[in-house]
Structure 1
Protein backbone atom coordinates (compact mmCIF):
# COMPACT_ATOMS: atom_id res chain seq x y z
CA UNK A 1 0.00 0.00 0.00
CA UNK A 2 1.46 3.34 -1.08
CA UNK A 3 1.60 6.40 1.13
CA UNK A 4 -0.83 8.13 -1.23
CA UNK A 5 -3.29 5.25 -0.88
CA UNK A 6 -3.08 5.36 2.91
CA UNK A 7 -3.67 9.12 2.87
CA UNK A 8 -6.80 8.53 0.79
CA UNK A 9 -8.15 6.02 3.33
CA UNK A 10 -7.28 8.39 6.18
CA UNK A 11 -9.23 11.18 4.48
CA UNK A 12 -12.17 8.82 3.92
CA UNK A 13 -12.15 7.88 7.60
CA UNK A 14 -12.22 11.54 8.67
CA UNK A 15 -15.06 12.41 6.29
CA UNK A 16 -17.09 9.31 7.21
CA UNK A 17 -16.58 10.03 10.91
CA UNK A 18 -17.67 13.63 10.38
CA UNK A 19 -20.80 12.49 8.52
CA UNK A 20 -21.67 10.13 11.39
CA UNK A 21 -21.47 12.96 13.92
CA UNK A 22 -23.08 15.51 11.61
CA UNK A 23 -25.95 13.15 10.81
CA UNK A 24 -26.65 12.71 14.52
CA UNK A 25 -26.74 16.46 15.10
CA UNK A 26 -28.93 17.41 12.12
CA UNK A 27 -31.26 14.46 12.69
CA UNK A 28 -31.76 15.38 16.35
CA UNK A 29 -32.25 19.07 15.54
CA UNK A 30 -34.62 18.29 12.65
CA UNK A 31 -36.71 15.98 14.83
CA UNK A 32 -36.97 18.64 17.53
CA UNK A 33 -38.17 21.31 15.09
CA UNK A 34 -40.67 19.01 13.37
CA UNK A 35 -42.10 17.60 16.60
CA UNK A 36 -42.46 21.07 18.12
CA UNK A 37 -45.06 21.75 15.41
CA UNK A 38 -46.58 18.43 14.32
CA UNK A 39 -46.62 17.12 17.88
CA UNK A 40 -48.88 19.92 19.07
CA UNK A 41 -52.69 19.60 19.28
CA UNK A 42 -54.59 21.06 16.32
CA UNK A 43 -51.23 21.54 14.59
CA UNK A 44 -52.75 22.08 11.15
CA UNK A 45 -54.05 25.50 12.19
CA UNK A 46 -50.54 26.63 13.20
CA UNK A 47 -48.40 25.15 10.41
CA UNK A 48 -48.87 28.10 8.04
CA UNK A 49 -47.53 30.54 10.64
CA UNK A 50 -44.60 28.25 11.43
CA UNK A 51 -43.95 26.91 7.94
CA UNK A 52 -40.35 28.20 7.90
CA UNK A 53 -39.49 26.27 11.07
CA UNK A 54 -41.11 23.14 9.68
CA UNK A 55 -39.25 23.52 6.39
CA UNK A 56 -35.92 23.95 8.20
CA UNK A 57 -36.60 20.78 10.18
CA UNK A 58 -37.39 18.92 6.96
CA UNK A 59 -34.22 20.23 5.28
CA UNK A 60 -32.15 19.03 8.23
CA UNK A 61 -33.66 15.56 7.80
CA UNK A 62 -32.93 15.74 4.08
CA UNK A 63 -29.30 16.48 4.95
CA UNK A 64 -29.30 13.35 7.10
CA UNK A 65 -30.69 11.37 4.15
CA UNK A 66 -27.94 12.67 1.87
CA UNK A 67 -25.38 11.80 4.53
CA UNK A 68 -26.66 8.21 4.75
CA UNK A 69 -26.36 7.76 0.99
CA UNK A 70 -22.91 9.38 1.10
CA UNK A 71 -21.82 6.77 3.65
CA UNK A 72 -22.46 4.01 1.16
CA UNK A 73 -20.63 5.82 -1.61
CA UNK A 74 -17.59 6.77 0.49
CA UNK A 75 -17.22 3.39 2.16
CA UNK A 76 -17.61 1.41 -1.08
CA UNK A 77 -13.92 1.58 -2.18
CA UNK A 78 -12.81 0.77 1.37
CA UNK A 79 -15.08 -2.25 1.75
CA UNK A 80 -14.64 -3.45 -1.83
CA UNK A 81 -11.02 -4.41 -1.16
CA UNK A 82 -12.31 -6.95 1.38
CA UNK A 83 -15.63 -8.07 -0.15
CA UNK A 84 -17.16 -6.58 -3.28
CA UNK A 85 -20.49 -8.32 -2.67
CA UNK A 86 -20.89 -6.90 0.84
CA UNK A 87 -19.68 -3.50 -0.34
CA UNK A 88 -22.48 -3.45 -2.94
CA UNK A 89 -24.96 -4.66 -0.31
CA UNK A 90 -23.89 -1.90 2.06
CA UNK A 91 -24.22 0.75 -0.65
CA UNK A 92 -27.68 -0.54 -1.69
CA UNK A 93 -28.94 -0.65 1.92
CA UNK A 94 -27.72 2.87 2.56
CA UNK A 95 -29.50 4.14 -0.54
CA UNK A 96 -32.74 2.43 0.52
CA UNK A 97 -32.34 3.98 3.97
CA UNK A 98 -31.85 7.42 2.36
CA UNK A 99 -34.91 6.98 0.13
CA UNK A 100 -37.19 6.33 3.11
CA UNK A 101 -35.73 9.29 4.97
CA UNK A 102 -36.54 11.38 1.89
CA UNK A 103 -40.12 10.04 2.02
CA UNK A 104 -40.22 11.20 5.66
CA UNK A 105 -39.17 14.67 4.48
CA UNK A 106 -41.84 14.72 1.76
CA UNK A 107 -44.59 13.72 4.22
CA UNK A 108 -43.52 16.58 6.48
CA UNK A 109 -43.37 19.18 3.71
CA UNK A 110 -46.83 18.18 2.45
CA UNK A 111 -48.23 19.59 5.69
CA UNK A 112 -47.45 23.12 4.49
CA UNK A 113 -49.79 23.18 1.44
CA UNK A 114 -52.38 21.18 3.39
CA UNK A 115 -52.31 23.77 6.17
CA UNK A 116 -52.67 26.59 3.63
CA UNK A 117 -55.73 24.93 2.12
CA UNK A 118 -57.10 24.17 5.59
CA UNK A 119 -56.98 27.82 6.65
CA UNK A 120 -59.03 28.83 3.60
CA UNK A 121 -61.50 25.93 3.63
CA UNK A 122 -64.87 25.54 5.26
CA UNK A 123 -66.57 22.44 6.62
CA UNK A 124 -66.81 19.68 5.46
CA UNK A 125 -63.62 20.28 3.44
CA UNK A 126 -61.67 21.03 6.64
CA UNK A 127 -62.49 17.56 7.96
CA UNK A 128 -61.15 15.95 4.78
CA UNK A 129 -57.95 18.00 4.97
CA UNK A 130 -57.48 17.09 8.62
CA UNK A 131 -57.94 13.41 7.80
CA UNK A 132 -55.42 13.59 4.95
CA UNK A 133 -52.92 15.48 7.10
CA UNK A 134 -53.29 12.97 9.94
CA UNK A 135 -52.75 10.09 7.53
CA UNK A 136 -49.50 11.64 6.29
CA UNK A 137 -48.29 12.27 9.85
CA UNK A 138 -49.12 8.70 10.86
CA UNK A 139 -47.23 7.40 7.81
CA UNK A 140 -44.00 9.09 8.91
CA UNK A 141 -43.09 6.48 11.57
CA UNK A 142 -43.63 3.67 9.04
CA UNK A 143 -41.24 5.31 6.58
CA UNK A 144 -38.77 5.82 9.42
CA UNK A 145 -39.04 2.20 10.58
CA UNK A 146 -38.39 0.79 7.12
CA UNK A 147 -35.46 3.16 6.73
CA UNK A 148 -34.09 2.05 10.11
CA UNK A 149 -34.40 -1.61 9.10
CA UNK A 150 -32.35 -0.87 5.96
CA UNK A 151 -29.86 1.02 8.13
CA UNK A 152 -29.66 -1.94 10.49
CA UNK A 153 -28.89 -4.34 7.65
CA UNK A 154 -26.26 -1.93 6.33
CA UNK A 155 -24.70 -1.71 9.78
CA UNK A 156 -24.53 -5.49 10.10
CA UNK A 157 -22.68 -5.79 6.80
CA UNK A 158 -20.36 -2.92 7.69
CA UNK A 159 -19.43 -4.28 11.09
CA UNK A 160 -19.01 -7.82 9.78
CA UNK A 161 -16.35 -6.49 7.43
CA UNK A 162 -14.93 -4.29 10.19
CA UNK A 163 -14.56 -7.45 12.30
CA UNK A 164 -13.26 -9.73 9.56
CA UNK A 165 -10.78 -7.26 8.08
CA UNK A 166 -9.89 -5.64 11.43
CA UNK A 167 -10.52 -2.18 9.97
CA UNK A 168 -11.23 -1.07 13.54
CA UNK A 169 -10.60 -2.89 16.84
CA UNK A 170 -12.80 -5.95 16.99
CA UNK A 171 -14.60 -4.90 20.16
CA UNK A 172 -15.94 -1.89 18.27
CA UNK A 173 -17.17 -4.17 15.48
CA UNK A 174 -18.85 -6.51 18.00
CA UNK A 175 -20.60 -3.52 19.59
CA UNK A 176 -21.76 -2.42 16.14
CA UNK A 177 -23.02 -5.91 15.25
CA UNK A 178 -25.02 -6.08 18.47
CA UNK A 179 -26.33 -2.52 18.12
CA UNK A 180 -27.52 -2.90 14.54
CA UNK A 181 -29.02 -6.34 15.20
CA UNK A 182 -31.07 -4.72 17.98
CA UNK A 183 -32.14 -1.99 15.55
CA UNK A 184 -33.29 -4.56 12.98
CA UNK A 185 -35.32 -6.63 15.44
CA UNK A 186 -36.59 -3.56 17.27
CA UNK A 187 -37.85 -1.84 14.13
CA UNK A 188 -39.47 -4.99 12.76
CA UNK A 189 -41.28 -5.37 16.08
CA UNK A 190 -42.18 -1.66 15.98
CA UNK A 191 -43.98 -2.22 12.68
CA UNK A 192 -46.03 -4.81 14.56
CA UNK A 193 -46.86 -2.30 17.29
CA UNK A 194 -44.38 -3.26 20.02
CA UNK A 195 -43.43 0.32 20.88
CA UNK A 196 -39.74 -0.66 21.15
CA UNK A 197 -38.52 1.41 18.20
CA UNK A 198 -36.98 4.30 20.13
CA UNK A 199 -35.30 2.04 22.69
CA UNK A 200 -33.79 -0.15 19.96
CA UNK A 201 -32.09 2.88 18.39
CA UNK A 202 -29.93 3.61 21.43
CA UNK A 203 -27.10 1.00 21.18
CA UNK A 204 -26.57 1.63 17.45
CA UNK A 205 -26.96 5.38 17.86
CA UNK A 206 -24.33 5.51 20.60
CA UNK A 207 -22.06 3.35 18.44
CA UNK A 208 -22.32 5.84 15.57
CA UNK A 209 -21.37 8.72 17.85
CA UNK A 210 -18.41 6.78 19.23
CA UNK A 211 -17.15 5.38 15.93
CA UNK A 212 -17.52 8.81 14.31
CA UNK A 213 -15.10 10.24 16.84
CA UNK A 214 -12.85 7.16 16.55
CA UNK A 215 -12.54 7.44 12.77
CA UNK A 216 -11.74 11.15 12.97
CA UNK A 217 -9.11 10.61 15.67
CA UNK A 218 -7.55 7.30 14.63
CA UNK A 219 -8.88 6.33 11.19
CA UNK A 220 -8.95 2.78 9.85
CA UNK A 221 -6.40 0.19 10.91
CA UNK A 222 -3.59 0.57 8.36
CA UNK A 223 -2.49 -3.05 8.78
CA UNK A 224 -5.84 -4.22 7.35
CA UNK A 225 -4.98 -2.64 3.99
CA UNK A 226 -1.37 -3.82 4.08
CA UNK A 227 -2.41 -7.42 4.76
CA UNK A 228 -5.05 -7.25 2.04
CA UNK A 229 -2.46 -5.97 -0.46
CA UNK A 230 -0.10 -8.77 0.55
CA UNK A 231 -2.78 -11.41 0.05
CA UNK A 232 -3.70 -9.98 -3.34
CA UNK A 233 -0.07 -9.96 -4.46
CA UNK A 234 0.53 -13.53 -3.29
CA UNK A 235 -2.55 -14.68 -5.17
CA UNK A 236 -1.53 -12.88 -8.35
CA UNK A 237 2.00 -14.37 -8.45
CA UNK A 238 0.99 -18.03 -8.92
CA UNK A 239 -1.48 -16.99 -11.60
CA UNK A 240 1.28 -15.12 -13.44
CA UNK A 241 3.59 -18.12 -13.14
CA UNK A 242 0.97 -20.47 -14.52
CA UNK A 243 0.38 -18.23 -17.49
Structure 2
Protein backbone atom coordinates (compact mmCIF):
# COMPACT_ATOMS: atom_id res chain seq x y z
CA UNK A 1 0.00 0.00 0.00
CA UNK A 2 2.87 2.34 0.83
CA UNK A 3 4.44 1.72 -2.59
CA UNK A 4 1.08 2.33 -4.27
CA UNK A 5 0.67 5.67 -2.48
CA UNK A 6 4.21 6.66 -3.41
CA UNK A 7 3.42 5.90 -7.05
CA UNK A 8 0.19 7.90 -6.88
CA UNK A 9 1.83 10.94 -5.33
CA UNK A 10 4.71 10.84 -7.78
CA UNK A 11 2.24 10.77 -10.67
CA UNK A 12 0.19 13.57 -9.08
CA UNK A 13 3.23 15.81 -8.69
CA UNK A 14 4.24 15.13 -12.30
CA UNK A 15 0.74 16.09 -13.50
CA UNK A 16 0.92 19.36 -11.58
CA UNK A 17 4.37 20.02 -13.04
CA UNK A 18 2.99 19.51 -16.56
CA UNK A 19 0.51 22.32 -15.84
CA UNK A 20 3.19 24.64 -14.45
CA UNK A 21 5.67 24.04 -17.28
CA UNK A 22 3.02 24.31 -20.02
CA UNK A 23 1.65 27.61 -18.69
CA UNK A 24 5.14 29.04 -18.16
CA UNK A 25 6.25 28.01 -21.64
CA UNK A 26 3.21 29.57 -23.32
CA UNK A 27 3.67 32.82 -21.38
CA UNK A 28 7.38 33.05 -22.20
CA UNK A 29 6.77 32.35 -25.91
CA UNK A 30 4.20 35.16 -26.20
CA UNK A 31 6.45 37.86 -27.76
CA UNK A 32 7.51 35.57 -30.60
CA UNK A 33 4.11 34.01 -31.24
CA UNK A 34 2.12 37.26 -31.16
CA UNK A 35 4.48 39.71 -32.89
CA UNK A 36 4.59 39.08 -36.67
CA UNK A 37 7.69 41.30 -36.93
CA UNK A 38 9.60 39.69 -34.08
CA UNK A 39 12.54 38.89 -36.33
CA UNK A 40 13.15 42.54 -37.22
CA UNK A 41 12.54 43.92 -33.70
CA UNK A 42 14.68 44.11 -30.57
CA UNK A 43 13.69 40.54 -29.70
CA UNK A 44 13.34 38.76 -26.38
CA UNK A 45 15.55 35.79 -27.16
CA UNK A 46 16.47 34.88 -23.58
CA UNK A 47 12.79 34.78 -22.69
CA UNK A 48 12.06 32.52 -25.67
CA UNK A 49 14.93 30.20 -24.74
CA UNK A 50 13.57 29.93 -21.20
CA UNK A 51 10.21 29.06 -22.74
CA UNK A 52 11.90 26.26 -24.67
CA UNK A 53 13.43 24.95 -21.43
CA UNK A 54 9.96 24.94 -19.85
CA UNK A 55 8.61 22.93 -22.77
CA UNK A 56 11.50 20.48 -22.46
CA UNK A 57 10.47 20.09 -18.82
CA UNK A 58 6.92 19.55 -20.07
CA UNK A 59 8.12 16.69 -22.27
CA UNK A 60 9.92 15.04 -19.34
CA UNK A 61 6.95 15.35 -16.99
CA UNK A 62 4.46 14.21 -19.67
CA UNK A 63 6.35 11.01 -20.32
CA UNK A 64 6.97 10.66 -16.59
CA UNK A 65 3.24 10.47 -15.86
CA UNK A 66 2.83 7.64 -18.37
CA UNK A 67 5.87 5.69 -17.20
CA UNK A 68 4.95 5.96 -13.51
CA UNK A 69 1.30 4.98 -14.02
CA UNK A 70 1.83 2.21 -16.59
CA UNK A 71 2.66 -0.64 -14.13
CA UNK A 72 -0.53 0.14 -12.21
CA UNK A 73 -2.86 0.77 -15.15
CA UNK A 74 -1.81 -2.28 -17.17
CA UNK A 75 -3.53 -4.51 -14.60
CA UNK A 76 -6.91 -3.16 -15.71
CA UNK A 77 -6.31 -3.03 -19.47
CA UNK A 78 -2.87 -3.50 -20.94
CA UNK A 79 -4.08 -2.36 -24.37
CA UNK A 80 -5.44 0.92 -23.03
CA UNK A 81 -2.35 1.43 -20.84
CA UNK A 82 0.00 0.96 -23.81
CA UNK A 83 -2.22 3.29 -25.83
CA UNK A 84 -1.90 5.93 -23.11
CA UNK A 85 1.90 5.69 -23.15
CA UNK A 86 1.91 5.88 -26.97
CA UNK A 87 -0.35 8.95 -26.90
CA UNK A 88 1.94 10.67 -24.43
CA UNK A 89 4.98 9.95 -26.61
CA UNK A 90 3.17 11.25 -29.71
CA UNK A 91 2.13 14.40 -27.88
CA UNK A 92 5.73 14.99 -26.77
CA UNK A 93 7.05 14.43 -30.30
CA UNK A 94 4.76 17.18 -31.57
CA UNK A 95 5.78 19.48 -28.72
CA UNK A 96 9.46 18.86 -29.55
CA UNK A 97 8.80 19.73 -33.20
CA UNK A 98 7.19 22.97 -32.04
CA UNK A 99 10.23 23.76 -29.88
CA UNK A 100 12.53 23.28 -32.88
CA UNK A 101 10.47 25.69 -34.99
CA UNK A 102 10.60 28.37 -32.29
CA UNK A 103 14.35 27.94 -31.73
CA UNK A 104 14.92 28.24 -35.48
CA UNK A 105 13.20 31.63 -35.45
CA UNK A 106 15.54 32.73 -32.64
CA UNK A 107 18.56 31.55 -34.64
CA UNK A 108 17.38 33.45 -37.73
CA UNK A 109 17.05 36.64 -35.68
CA UNK A 110 20.47 36.24 -34.08
CA UNK A 111 22.37 35.40 -37.27
CA UNK A 112 20.44 37.55 -39.71
CA UNK A 113 21.78 40.86 -38.39
CA UNK A 114 20.67 43.87 -40.39
CA UNK A 115 19.25 41.55 -43.06
CA UNK A 116 17.05 39.60 -40.64
CA UNK A 117 13.96 41.27 -42.08
CA UNK A 118 14.29 39.30 -45.30
CA UNK A 119 13.59 36.10 -43.34
CA UNK A 120 10.24 37.34 -42.02
CA UNK A 121 8.19 35.04 -44.31
CA UNK A 122 10.24 32.04 -43.13
CA UNK A 123 9.86 33.07 -39.48
CA UNK A 124 6.11 33.46 -39.83
CA UNK A 125 5.91 30.04 -41.48
CA UNK A 126 7.82 28.51 -38.55
CA UNK A 127 5.46 30.17 -36.06
CA UNK A 128 2.56 28.67 -38.02
CA UNK A 129 4.24 25.26 -37.73
CA UNK A 130 4.38 25.74 -33.96
CA UNK A 131 0.69 26.65 -33.89
CA UNK A 132 -0.21 23.48 -35.81
CA UNK A 133 1.91 21.28 -33.54
CA UNK A 134 0.16 22.80 -30.54
CA UNK A 135 -3.23 22.06 -32.08
CA UNK A 136 -2.41 18.46 -33.00
CA UNK A 137 -0.47 17.65 -29.81
CA UNK A 138 -1.94 19.36 -26.73
CA UNK A 139 -5.11 20.16 -28.68
CA UNK A 140 -5.97 16.73 -30.13
CA UNK A 141 -3.74 13.86 -28.96
CA UNK A 142 -4.15 14.89 -25.31
CA UNK A 143 -7.90 14.41 -25.64
CA UNK A 144 -7.35 10.79 -26.73
CA UNK A 145 -4.56 9.92 -24.30
CA UNK A 146 -5.04 11.93 -21.11
CA UNK A 147 -8.78 12.21 -21.61
CA UNK A 148 -10.37 9.12 -23.12
CA UNK A 149 -7.78 6.40 -22.36
CA UNK A 150 -6.65 7.58 -18.93
CA UNK A 151 -10.22 8.46 -17.98
CA UNK A 152 -11.35 4.97 -18.98
CA UNK A 153 -8.55 3.32 -17.00
CA UNK A 154 -9.23 5.37 -13.89
CA UNK A 155 -12.97 4.80 -14.18
CA UNK A 156 -12.53 1.06 -14.59
CA UNK A 157 -10.01 0.67 -11.79
CA UNK A 158 -11.77 2.87 -9.17
CA UNK A 159 -8.35 4.35 -8.34
CA UNK A 160 -9.97 7.80 -8.24
CA UNK A 161 -13.64 8.73 -7.69
CA UNK A 162 -15.65 7.73 -10.76
CA UNK A 163 -17.37 11.15 -11.15
CA UNK A 164 -13.89 12.65 -11.50
CA UNK A 165 -12.89 10.11 -14.15
CA UNK A 166 -16.04 10.98 -16.12
CA UNK A 167 -14.53 14.41 -16.79
CA UNK A 168 -11.78 12.62 -18.70
CA UNK A 169 -14.12 10.24 -20.51
CA UNK A 170 -16.32 13.13 -21.67
CA UNK A 171 -13.82 15.97 -21.81
CA UNK A 172 -11.16 14.09 -23.79
CA UNK A 173 -13.28 13.29 -26.86
CA UNK A 174 -14.85 16.77 -26.65
CA UNK A 175 -11.39 18.34 -26.73
CA UNK A 176 -10.30 16.20 -29.69
CA UNK A 177 -13.48 17.02 -31.61
CA UNK A 178 -12.86 20.69 -30.91
CA UNK A 179 -9.36 20.30 -32.36
CA UNK A 180 -10.86 18.85 -35.53
CA UNK A 181 -13.32 21.76 -35.65
CA UNK A 182 -10.43 24.22 -35.44
CA UNK A 183 -8.59 22.25 -38.14
CA UNK A 184 -11.51 22.77 -40.54
CA UNK A 185 -11.91 26.44 -39.65
CA UNK A 186 -15.13 26.25 -37.63
CA UNK A 187 -13.59 28.63 -35.07
CA UNK A 188 -10.20 29.80 -33.82
CA UNK A 189 -8.16 27.84 -31.31
CA UNK A 190 -8.17 30.83 -28.96
CA UNK A 191 -11.95 31.35 -29.27
CA UNK A 192 -14.65 30.96 -26.63
CA UNK A 193 -16.05 27.71 -28.14
CA UNK A 194 -12.58 26.17 -28.07
CA UNK A 195 -12.05 27.25 -24.45
CA UNK A 196 -15.40 25.80 -23.38
CA UNK A 197 -14.67 22.50 -25.14
CA UNK A 198 -11.28 22.30 -23.44
CA UNK A 199 -12.51 23.16 -19.94
CA UNK A 200 -13.67 19.64 -18.87
CA UNK A 201 -10.28 18.18 -19.83
CA UNK A 202 -8.49 20.90 -17.86
CA UNK A 203 -10.69 20.17 -14.82
CA UNK A 204 -9.94 16.45 -15.20
CA UNK A 205 -6.17 16.81 -15.37
CA UNK A 206 -5.99 19.42 -12.59
CA UNK A 207 -8.26 17.46 -10.24
CA UNK A 208 -6.36 14.24 -10.99
CA UNK A 209 -3.02 15.85 -10.17
CA UNK A 210 -4.32 17.36 -6.93
CA UNK A 211 -6.17 14.19 -5.88
CA UNK A 212 -3.23 11.85 -6.46
CA UNK A 213 -0.83 14.22 -4.70
CA UNK A 214 -3.01 14.83 -1.64
CA UNK A 215 -5.01 11.59 -1.30
CA UNK A 216 -3.28 8.93 -3.42
CA UNK A 217 -5.04 5.96 -4.97
CA UNK A 218 -8.33 4.74 -3.63
CA UNK A 219 -8.65 1.04 -2.86
CA UNK A 220 -8.36 -0.47 -6.37
CA UNK A 221 -10.89 -2.86 -7.82
CA UNK A 222 -9.61 -6.44 -7.79
CA UNK A 223 -8.72 -7.72 -11.23
CA UNK A 224 -9.11 -11.25 -12.53
CA UNK A 225 -5.35 -11.71 -12.14
CA UNK A 226 -5.56 -10.65 -8.49
CA UNK A 227 -8.38 -13.08 -7.80
CA UNK A 228 -6.52 -15.93 -9.55
CA UNK A 229 -3.36 -15.21 -7.57
CA UNK A 230 -5.36 -15.16 -4.35
CA UNK A 231 -6.94 -18.54 -5.17
CA UNK A 232 -3.52 -20.02 -6.00
CA UNK A 233 -2.02 -18.78 -2.74
CA UNK A 234 -4.90 -20.29 -0.75
CA UNK A 235 -4.57 -23.62 -2.51
CA UNK A 236 -0.84 -23.71 -1.82
CA UNK A 237 -1.45 -22.85 1.82
CA UNK A 238 -3.97 -25.67 2.09
Quote the RMSD (CA, aligned, Å): 2.2
Structure 1 CA distance, aligned partners of 2:14 and 2:65? 8
Query: Could you say which residue in structure 1 is the equivalent of 2:210?
Result: 213
TM-score (norm 1): 0.86
What is the Cα deviation at residue 230 of structure 1? 3.7
Aligned length: 228
Return the alpha-carbon distance in structure 1 between the equivalents of residues 108 and 160 of structure 2.
48
1:57 to 51, 56, 62: 51
1:144, distance to aligned residue in structure 2 (A): 1.1
Is 1:9 the counterpart of 2:4 in the alignment?
yes
Moved over 6 A (4+): none
Alpha-carbon distance in structure 1 between the residues aligned to 2:24 and 2:211: 23
Distance 1:194 1:119 in 2: 40
Match of 2:88 among 83, 94, 98: 94
* Structure 2 partner of 1:42: 37
Superposition deviation, residue 196 in structure 1: 5.2
Deviations 1:110-135 (A, max 9, x none): 1111112332327xxx43x1111000
Q: Is 1:84 the equivalent of 2:42?
A: no
TM-score normalised according to structure 2 size: 0.87
Listed as ranges, the matches of 1:1-243 within 5 Å are 6-46=1-41, 49-121=43-115, 126-127=117-118, 129-148=119-138, 149-155=140-146, 156-195=148-187, 197=189, 198-199=194-195, 200-224=197-221, 227-228=222-223, 230-233=226-229
Structure 2: give runs of 5+ residues left out of the alignment.
none
